[in-house]
Amino acid sequence: KQEVTQIPAALSVPEGENLVLNCSFTDSAIYNLQWFRQDPGKGLTSLLLIQSSQREQTSGRLNASLDKSSGRSTLYIAASQPGDSATYLCAVDNTDKLIFGTGTRLQVFP
């Protein structure tokens, strides 16, 4: 059974810091890995999709890497801003459904 773990559970940093959010999964037989952002009480916004044949994806200040053999992904946020404050969810696409971690709650203060 696929299990997804995210570390840390919460993070509070001053504006401008570079951040690394970690995601690990137990079954390396995945199609894709997707990172989402969720603001309080809202739905999920897709940030980055990494297909199983890829090692990383970049979008603006965000970079996500995938190491299937070790069951790990990292989301790197450069030069954090208060607007980045949200919960970040990692999800693996396994047997055609997403399995989510419990998320990292990020607060960036001015």
Partner 1 sequence: DTGVSQNPRHKITKRGQNVTFRCDPISEHNRLYWYRQTLGQGPEFLTYFQNEAQLEKSRLLSDRFSAERPKGSFSTLEIQRTEQGDSAMYLCASKPGPVYGYTFGSGTRLTVV
Tokens of 29: 């037989």
Asked if 89 and 105 count as a contact pair (C-beta separation under 8 A), the reply is: no
Question: Shortest Cβ distance from residue 68 to partner 1 (Å)?
Answer: 15
Tokens of 63: 């970079």
Per rule CB under 8 A, is residue 4 in the interface with partner 1? yes
Asked if 74 and 81 count as a contact pair (C-beta separation under 8 A), the reply is: no
Asked if 45 and 61 count as a contact pair (C-beta separation under 8 A), the reply is: no
In the complex with partner 1, which residue's Cβ is closer, 44 or 62? 44
Per rule CB under 8 A, is residue 7 in the interface with partner 1? no
Per rule CB under 8 A, is residue 71 in the interface with partner 1? no
From residue 17 to residue 56, what is the string marking binding to partner 1 with x (rule CB under 8 A)?
--------------xx-x-x----xxxxxx--x-x-----
Residue 48: Cβ within 10 Å count: 19
**Which stretches of the chain bind partner 1, using CB under 8 A?**
4, 31-32, 34, 36, 41-46, 49, 51, 89, 91, 93, 96-103
